[in-house]
Amino acid sequence: MKITYSPIGTIHTPFHELSGMPIQPASDLSAPGTVELLPEYLPGIKDLDGFSHIILIYHLHQSHGFKLMVTPFLDTESHGVFSTRAPLRPNPIGISVVKLLGVEHNLLRVDNLDVLDGTPLLDIKPYVPEFDSPPAVRLGWLEGVKYNLRSTRSDQRFS
């Protein structure tokens, strides 16, 4: 079974190389940028400006092939790829919750971007804590490692 999607827009960011990037939206290194929606979808963002945060779903277009075991940026041990947020996934889909700063026609100004410039956008959803943020969690391997999400940069390992 093949599932085919077409981008609904493009994410513009200051990041042009896989190495040296922020590894999550919550990083101090994440940056403001622009989500450019294809004009034909403009009616679809009516009322989006009321939300402070949105979920971007996008295609990791520079992720070629996949690995089932990876050593993520935040650890020195390897883990199953589905237990990590590493980009070399069987279906290279990324999600980021970002701050929506403003909407001007088909351009969304957002903050906290952690993706490459030119990333193809697949979907936008409003971020709703009641839907998306269950209260109690265990964090698996992440609980056992000392990491600094805010300052860790990506390197070449998934290039």
* Footprint of a second copy (CB under 8 A): 1-8, 24-26, 41, 43-53, 55, 57, 59, 68-69, 79-85, 89-91, 93, 95, 97, 99, 112, 120, 122-134, 136-143, 149
Of residues 131 and 155, the one with the C-beta less far from a second copy: 131
The label of the residue with tokens 């109690």 reads 136
Q: Which residues contact 151 (CB under 8 A, 6 or more apart)?
A: 27, 28, 29
Task: Give yes or no for a contact between 22 and 114, defined as CB atoms under 8 angstroms apart.
Answer: yes
Nearest distance from C-beta of residue 78 to a second copy, angstroms: 8
In whole angstroms, what is the distance from residue 49 CA to residue 132 CA? 19
Task: Give yes or no for a contact between 22 and 153, defined as CB atoms under 8 angstroms apart.
Answer: yes
Nearest distance from C-beta of residue 159 to a second copy, angstroms: 20
Of residues 47 and 104, the one with the C-beta less far from a second copy: 47
Nearest distance from C-beta of residue 18 to a second copy, angstroms: 18
What is the chain's length?
A: 159
Of residues 18 and 78, the one with the C-beta less far from a second copy: 78
The dihedral built from the CA positions of residue 122, 120, 65 and 83, taken in this order, carries a sign that is negative
Of residues 14 and 26, the one with the C-beta less far from a second copy: 26
Nearest distance from C-beta of residue 141 to a second copy, angstroms: 5
